[in-house]
Structures are given as C-alpha cells and as structure tokens.
Chain A
Amino acid sequence: MKGENGPLVHELFGRGDYGLISEIVEPGSCVLDLGCGEGELLAWLAEHKDVDARGVEISPAKLQKAIAKGVSAYQGDIETCLADYPDKAFDYVLLSQTLQEIRYPLQVMKDILRVSRRAIVAFPNFGHFSVRLAHLFNGRAPKTKLFPYDWYDSPNIHFLTVDDFEILAARQNWQVERRYFLSGTREVKSFPNLMAEVAVFVVSNR
C-alpha cells in the first residue's frame, strides 16, 4: 500500500515537496518562503530560476545561515510578518510543512492570498493510513514516520488531512489550481486522503 504505481517526482535536498515547488515556480518570479530555514530552497531558486528570493525565519541560527547564502531573509514570526506587505507583492508565497504548526492557520492563509498571487502549501497528511492505524491500534496520539514527535514535544498543533484542506478551500472560495500528493518521492494518484504522506496545493483567490 505505498502507491507504487505513481510516477517518481524529482527530489530537491531529499524532499519531494521541494522538487515540486522548484518545478512550479516560474523563472524570474518574486517568491517569499515562510519558515525558510537555512534558505537552501530559496538559494536554489535564485541560482537556477533567477527568482527574487525572500524568506522569513524565526530561528536566529537558521536565519544566519540563510543570509550567509545570499538569501534576503529576516527574523520574523509567520503569524505577524505579512501585515507590512502591500497587496500582491509576490508571485508565490511558500508554506512548506508549516501550516500544521501555526496558531491561526486560516488567518495566515488569508494574509498569504492578500500579499501573493498564489500560495504553495505543503503539509503532512494526518489522514494517511499509517496514522489512522497507529491511533486505532495503540489508542494513543499517533507517532509515525510522518509525525515522529511525542504529543508533549511536538511542533504540530493542528492535525489536518487532505480532505480537511479541500473542504476549507471550498468554503473560503479559494481556487485550487493544482494539487499533488506524495508518498515518499512517488506521486499518489488515487485515494490521496488515505495514501498521501504529503500534500502540495497551489491555491489562489478566485
């Protein structure tokens, strides 16, 4: 049950979602990466796609590495940093594996779609069968490859599934331009809510 039939996606820095993002973003775009870490994705986009690369990172140690790579990043909190920006300042805002960690994800999504033409949102799918099985058979907060943390020590404060995101998008009248589902580095073509480990959505306002 690993979605063996899907095609392999291109990996970047060992991550399928990075690989997808690197293909989606058009050359010369202006991109903001929320939670850019050490800036490897942005530095790659600047180097190979001539992207105007901006980043926000809360950890000073990671931020320092990002700036040292030549990425225009600054220390900031994802929940508050977008308020300063003018409307549609960016072509893409990236939120990679962070949506489940922020306190007010809906507000952040709304802010993103105000400052950017599109959002690329990647998140781990809590609906994946391994999570369901772990919970069903252990009766405890799931601890899996996808969610490797103990409940008391986890950065994840929301547990959303592929279907949850689709429902929210429909309710908010967002346009889901593209959707990709990954299991490891393979694309999942059927039953994504059950089979996808990671979902990548390209979203815009209608």
Chain B
Amino acid sequence: MVATTHSKQFESIELESGVVLSPVNVAYETYGTLNADKSNAILVTHAFSGDAHAAGVDAEGQKGWWDNQIGPGKGFDTDKYFVICSNVLGGCKGSTGPSSINPATGERYAMTFPVITIGDMVTLQKMLMDSFGITRLLSVAGGSMGGMQVLEWAVRFPEAVASAIPIASTARHSAQQIAFNEVARQAIMADPDWADGNYYDKKPPGRGLSVARMVGHITYMSDESMRQKFGRRQREENGIFEVESYLRYRGSQFVDRFDANSYLYITKAMDMFDLANGAQSLVPVLAKSRTRYLIISFTSDWLYPSYQSLEIVSALRRRNQDVAYIELTSNYGHDAFLVEVDEQTELIRGFLARTMKEVAKR
C-alpha cells in the first residue's frame, strides 16, 4: 500500500481565540474507498508528534505511524472502511503551523502564530470532512493527544460521530502531565539557538528540542520496559549506558523531523485542553454526545494512567451512555497504544462491525 500525502487549502479558519487564520492548509492521507452513501468513513487522529502518514509506505519507504492497525484485514480494515488521517493545525508536516509563511508579511509565523487549541484542530478536521461530503463519521479514533481530539469531536459534533475510540488518553491533563510538557518547553526556550522562535534561516534549537524529546521518551516508556530494553548495559566503544545512547539518538533524530515552535504550540494546546471547560464534572459535557465509545487504557501507562480513562467511563455511565472500556495489560507504558497490536485489533474490529450494524439501522 503506497501512501501519498495530499493537501487542501481553505480560505480561512476562525479559531477559538477569535483570531482568523487565512488561508489554512491541511495535509492528509486516505486509505480504502468511500462508499456510495459515505457511511464508512473513519477519521484517525494522531498523537503529539504524529502526522498525516498513518498507514502504508510513503515515497521514502517509511511506514505510517499506525500501519499495524490500518490496512486490508487489520483493525481498521481498509477493505471495508475509508480511513482518513490529517496533520493537526499547528503542526509541521504540511498543515499550517508556526513554520508556515504568513502571507501578510511574507515571513514565517514563528511566535506570531496564534494560540491554537485541540478544538481548533478538530474544526480544521471537520472542514476537511465537509469537503469530502461526509456528514457522519463511522468512527473517530486516536491515542494520547489523538484521544483528546476524539473526545472533542464527540461533544462538539455529536450528530457527526457514530462512534469514538479514545486510547490511552484523558479529558484533561493532570499537573504531572503539564509539568513534563513545561520541562520540554523550557528546554527548547533555554537553547540560545531558539532566538525567540526566529531561527528558521539559522541554526535551529537542536539541543533544546533534543532534550525535550528525551524527556518525552522517558514518559512514554515504563520502568519495566526500560529495564527490559536497556537494563544497565553499557556500550563497549564509549562506556555510556544503552539508555543514554538510545535517548540521545531519539533526541537528535527528532530534530531533523520536527519544528521546535510547533512543539511549543501543540504541547500548550494539550495542556489547555479541558473537555469539561473548567467544570469539576465531565457528566454535563458528555451528556451532549450521541456516540458509542470504546475506551482503552494500559496497566503500565503512568503518563496517561487508567484513572483518567475511568473518569470518562464513569461520567458516561451517569447518563447510561453506550461505553465499552478495557484496561489492557502491558509493560510498554504509554507506548503500548502503538505497540500492543493484537488485542487492540480484535477489540477495534468487533466494535466497528457492531457500529456499522447500528448505523445501518438508523
């Protein structure tokens, strides 16, 4: 399955802050075929550092970030469903973000890019769905920050979402999650090469961005998975620990593929996200949704712990809404949602098949 990233431009988008961004681009990929009544469309939403390339192999031979779950015969079976994935607003992989040129000035936006929210990301995705003529999605699915977009879809466009699959996610960040993001942001901004965000014609803040990514990777793993993967092994040539070497490699690799300003804007959007809009209880806001839910969390995920998923499950039960929930056993920490394939495939396949039947009844 060779995947091509497409791009669509819209005249403008009004952001939650009231600012109008014009024009706005969205990069996306699609897999499978949209059926005649457009009832088999599934939107897949990516996590923090993901992009539109979710499945198949691109021109450089890179597999999509959820290729093990999207494709013929897989959980999101492209023989049955039409799957769409787009790069988020504020990103750096083809959708408009801080590294885009501001047409008003002819320069990169950098830190003049407006503040964006998870809700704004969803608005742009909705514009893309409308352009396809898709009025109701069979499902919206995604892990981590992708799961936040899933939840936002379900409450913002209740009639447009038949089912929702938020995985290893939350309705709002805890202090701990915000804290890790803040450490990452400070690492970037402390790098002199960041230069208040105006580094685009110069040396990018590689050291800061790399440290930010290293912190991220620690939070995506678990004590157990790090012990198994690295232990206390050291590399013979230079005596540094395997875990140090791994983090440095991941950090430096990230610098080549991600924009530091996008890092700042997107992590801030995650931290600001609160499905309940400041209210204590999730019950009233979720009462708006008309969606079937499949919620999945993982035992060793300490970054997005199961209690955050359970809070959503509990709020849905208060209104007797349709929700399936499972905490899968895994040692992989937060990474589990991309790694634990077989169990999730079985769950997603059964859930989507049932949803398809319910949709047909309507």
Contact = CB atoms under 8 A, between A and B. Distances in A.
Given A60-B329, A67-B294, A70-B350, A84 B323 contact: no
A64 B343 contact: yes
Contacts of B329: 60
A89 B320 contact: yes
Among A30, A50, A72, A90, which residue has the most Cβ atoms of chain B within 10 A? A72
A75 B350 contact: no
Contact of A67 (B314, B322, B324): B324
A85 interface: yes
Given A60-B326, A60-B327, A60-B329, A67 B318 contact: no
Given A60-B329, A63-B326, A67-B294, A84 B347 contact: no
A84 B317 contact: yes
B351 interface: yes
Interface in B326-357: 326-329, 343, 346-347, 349-351, 353-355, 357
A38 to B, nearest CB: 12
A2 B357 CA distance: 43
Contacts of B136: none
A148 B257 CA distance: 62
Main secondary structure of the interface of B (DSSP, over half): helix
A33 interface: no
Interface in A59-102: 60, 63-64, 67-75, 81, 84-86, 89-90
A128 B354 CA distance: 41
A204 B325 CA distance: 29
A187 interface: no
Interface residues of B, number: 27
B326 A67 contact: yes
B145 interface: no
A75 B361 CA distance: 28
A197 interface: no
Contacts of A72: 292, 322-324
B319 interface: yes
A52 interface: yes
A49 B301 CA distance: 39
A30 B357 CA distance: 17
Contacts, number: 60
A68 B347 contact: yes
B313 interface: yes
B323 A64 contact: no
Contacts of A118: none
A21 interface: no
A85 B320 contact: yes
Among B346, B349, B350, B351, which residue has the most Cβ atoms of chain A within 10 A? B350
B317 A85 contact: yes
Interface string A145-164: 00000000000000000000
A161 to B, nearest CB: 34
A16 B354 CA distance: 27
Chain A, interface size category, equals 20 to 34
A64 B347 contact: yes
A54 interface: yes
A80 B308 CA distance: 18
A46 interface: yes
Contacts of A63: 326
Contacts of A81: 317
A83 B313 CA distance: 13
A73 B317 contact: no
Interface in A17-56: 30, 46, 50, 52, 54
A87 to B, nearest CB: 10
A58 to B, nearest CB: 12
B350 A67 contact: yes
B346 A70 contact: no
Given A64-B346, A74-B313, A86-B320, A46 B326 contact: no
Contact of B325 (A50, A68, A74, A89): A74
Given A72-B323, A75-B327, A86-B318, A67 B351 contact: yes
A75 B292 contact: no
A67 B349 CA distance: 10
B328 to A, nearest CB: 8
A68 B350 contact: yes
A81 B347 CA distance: 22
Interface of B: 292, 294, 313-314, 317-320, 322-329, 343, 346-347, 349-351, 353-355, 357, 361
20 contacts: A30-B320, A46-B354, A67-B324, A67-B350, A67-B351, A68-B347, A68-B350, A70-B350, A70-B355, A71-B354, A72-B322, A72-B324, A74-B323, A74-B325, A75-B327, A84-B318, A85-B318, A86-B319, A86-B320, A90-B320
Given A50-B361, A75-B326, 16 more contacts: A30-B320, A54-B322, A60-B329, A63-B326, A67-B350, A67-B351, A68-B349, A69-B350, A69-B354, A70-B350, A70-B355, A73-B324, A74-B313, A74-B325, A85-B320, A86-B319
Interface of A: 30, 46, 50, 52, 54, 60, 63-64, 67-75, 81, 84-86, 89-90
